[in-house]
Amino acid sequence: MQHWIIAPIILPALMGPFITLAMRHDVTLQRVASLASAVLLVGLTGALLVSAAGGNVESYELGSWPAPFGIVLVLDRLSALMVTLTAVLGLVVLAYAVATNWDQRGRNFHALYQFQLMGLFGAMLTGDIFNLFVFFEILLIASYGLMTHGGGRMRLRGGVQYVIYNLAGSTLFLFALGTLYAVFGTLNMADLAERAAELPAGDGALLRVTAVLLLLVFVLKGALLPMHFWLPNTYALAPAPVAALFAVMTKVGAYSVIRVFTLIFPVTLAPMGGLVADVVVPAALVTLAIGMIGVLGGGTLARTVSFAAIGSMGTLFLAIGTFSELATGAALYYLIHSTLATAALFLVVDQVRARRGNSALVPQAPLVRSGLVAAFFFAAAIAMAGMPPLSGFLGKLMVLQAVRQADWWVWGWAFILVTSLIAVVGFARAGSVLFWRPHDNNTPAPSDEFQIAPGTLSGWGMAALGGLLALIVALTVAAGPVTGYTNATAAQLYAPQGYIYAVLGTPEERAARLAAEEARADDLHGADHGAPAHSDAPATSEGH
């Protein structure tokens, strides 16, 4: 299993340039290569998921540089779950983009898509926090290209906003990393976890500053209030398949929060206290409220769905901010659901645009062939709002149950239940305007929400959308095994010793390795007759 961990990063990293360089002029070849890569990635990550499900943590040392000096990739239940989710979503969305010709609206869609996947997989697998920054940059650079794919006046302006917001976020990330390195002298996450636990009490303030800086960066990615401003315009203006793929980008922020704040800064760490939860929980409550109120007043279906995505991040962060095993298990189930539901809704938006030219929520001439789209919208909206019988209901139920343990549970319940009602009303309004309202053929179409060119009508595109909804149904039917896995994941996260030992070795292994090093150094020393012993400890191996 050893080398397979890096395969999901290597494959798209090779495929991206290959598509650009060798297949530039052949659309069919590009599509075949891109889809083949996406299918392979689903297989690869599926194998990783099976391998991680047993509960052992595997660490892969790049270039065989031993752990705190070199970069490691770590496969545990959480990262396996995230990469599999990304690969599956990536395949479905790519199939949709190919079927609706979105990939031909501009150049280099497929190469950028591969790089986007590479960045996502890297961020989820890496065990080194500076490397996490590098993979964040890779996925962002690719996302800048994808977001402005196809061009157009408004999309470019939205792109500028998105890029600037994220560049500010990256700078903040670097400030956090600088502080982290100044305090601990290491960037390996397992090593950081050990050193944070041993930090003298006087340095608690530095620890808290670093933790909050990192938290800001991650919640910016996760669109938690007040860092959510980039999301509505970006998602509404991006090409719809790209917006659907971006559903997993906000989840990378959530993943990083879970990873860093269970491993490096757990709630059990004395200087941290309840700091992170005290910040995240109120912010999550407001995010939930703002998101779902936005669903009610979005004005266009695209913005409505964007705000629903913000609202679902609120629910997710509420569960994450509870920081208990039960709540994290619930959060992970909700995370899978929310990714699939958001992506499905954005594909519905694209199909609505393809039929009426825009997604403005005002009565217009009837949609052509709207039956299936209406049904898909209905299903996706039910899932997103958290109505039974789909997985959104189960996810919210689990979150409610987990939040019940916290002493602020009344607030959590009130916000989740009331905002669910608001979301139901919002989606019902949007759906009835789009599909049911008595139509007036003479109403002039609004000059368009943002002059977004719609996708094309395509049976295969509808099939891809149906596939996404089938995944939501499967997630509901298989809720038992899936929650079994997410709860096991949470248990693994709250016992970080396994992760640390897998990366750095158990204390006995480390002692043995140190003894071997010393014996080797003595040998060299003896052979050189007292020549100055050059240390070949790879202290500079962070080959960024």
Partner 1 sequence: MEALVAIAIGAMTASGVYLMLRLRTFPVVLGLSMLTYAVNVFIFASGRLVAGAPPILGAAPTMTDPLPQALVLTAIVISFGMTALTVILALGSYLNAGTDQIDIERPGEQPDADN
In the stretch 111-130, what mask flags binding to partner 1 with x, by CB under 8 A?
A: -------------------x
Interface of this chain with partner 1, residues 225 to 244, rule: CB under 8 A: 233
Stretch that binds partner 1, among 76-84, 311-319, 444-452, 498-506 (CB under 8 A): 444-452
Say whether residue 70 binds partner 1 (CB under 8 A).
Answer: no
User: Please, which residues have CB within 8 angstroms of residue 528's CB and are 6 or more apart in sequence?
Assistant: none
Minimum CB distance to partner 1, residue 106 (Å):
12
- Cβ partners under 8 Å of residue 376, min gap 6: 344, 348, 351, 462, 465, 466, 469
Of 125, 120, 101, 118, nearest to 30 by C-alpha is 101
Neighbours of 241 (CB within 10 A): 30
177 vs 399, beta carbon nearer partner 1: 177
- Which three-class secondary structure state does DSSP give residue 73? strand
The count of residues interacting with partner 1 (CB under 8 A) is 50
Among 35, 40, 47, 134, binds partner 1 (CB under 8 A): 134
455, 351 contact by CB (below 8 A): yes
Q: Of 365-373, 419-427, 463-471, 527-535, which part binds partner 1 (CB under 8 A)?
A: 527-535
Q: Interface with partner 1 by CB under 8 A: which range of 52-60, 179-187, 310-318, 514-522?
A: 179-187
Name the one residue in this structure whose structure tokens are 């896995």: 485
Helices 479-493, 240-263: inter-axial angle, 10-degree rounding: 40
Residue 544 touches partner 1, criterion: CB under 8 A:
yes
Question: What is the CB neighbour count within 10 angstroms for residue 498?
Answer: 14
Tell me how far apart the alpha carbons of residues 44 and 10 are, in angstroms, rounded to a whole number.
11
Nearest-angstrom CA–CA distance, 248 and 46: 17
Cβ proximity of 325 and 491 under 8 Å:
yes
- Closest CB to partner 1 among 9 and 52? 9
Nearest to partner 1 of 145, 392 (CB atom): 145
Question: Minimum distance between the CB of residue 286 and partner 1, rounded to whole angstroms?
Answer: 22
| From 66, 204, 299, 498, residue interacting with partner 1 (rule: CB under 8 A) | 299
Question: For the residues of 318-373, what is the DSSP string, one character each?
Answer: HHHHH-SHHHHHHHHHHHHHHHHHHHHHHHHHHHHHHHHS--BSS--SPPTT-HHH
The correct pick among 20, 51, 104, 179 for binding partner 1 (CB under 8 A) is: 179
State the nearest-atom distance from the C-beta of 112 to partner 1, in Å. Answer: 13
Alpha-carbon distance of 475 to 337, in angstroms, equals 7
Using CB under 8 A, pick the residue from 64, 441, 442, 540 that binds partner 1.
540
- Indicate whether 181 belongs to the interface with partner 1 (CB under 8 A): yes
Measure the N-to-C terminal CA separation of the chain; round to a whole number of Å: 25
Regarding 411 and contact with partner 1 (CB under 8 A), the answer is no
Q: Under the criterion CB under 8 A, does residue 144 sit at the interface with partner 1?
A: yes
Distance CA 404, CA 408 (A): 8
Rounded distance between C-alpha atoms, residue 509 and residue 486, angstroms: 30
Site membership for partner 1, residue 151 (CB under 8 A): yes
Using CB under 8 A as the binding rule, whether residue 65 contacts partner 1 is answered as no
Using CB under 8 A as the binding rule, whether residue 159 contacts partner 1 is answered as: yes
The smaller minimum CB distance to partner 1, of residues 519 and 539, is found at: 539
449 binds partner 1 (CB under 8 A): yes
Closest listed residue to residue 481, CA positions, set 394, 407, 380, 415: 394
Q: Applying CB under 8 A, which of residues 7, 35, 53, 174 lies at the interface with partner 1?
A: 174
The verdict on 135 binding partner 1 (CB under 8 A) reads no
| Residues near partner 1, by CB under 8 A | 130, 134, 137, 141, 144, 148, 151-154, 156-161, 163-164, 167-168, 170-171, 174-175, 177-179, 181-182, 185, 187, 233, 299-300, 360, 446-450, 532-535, 537, 539-540, 542-544
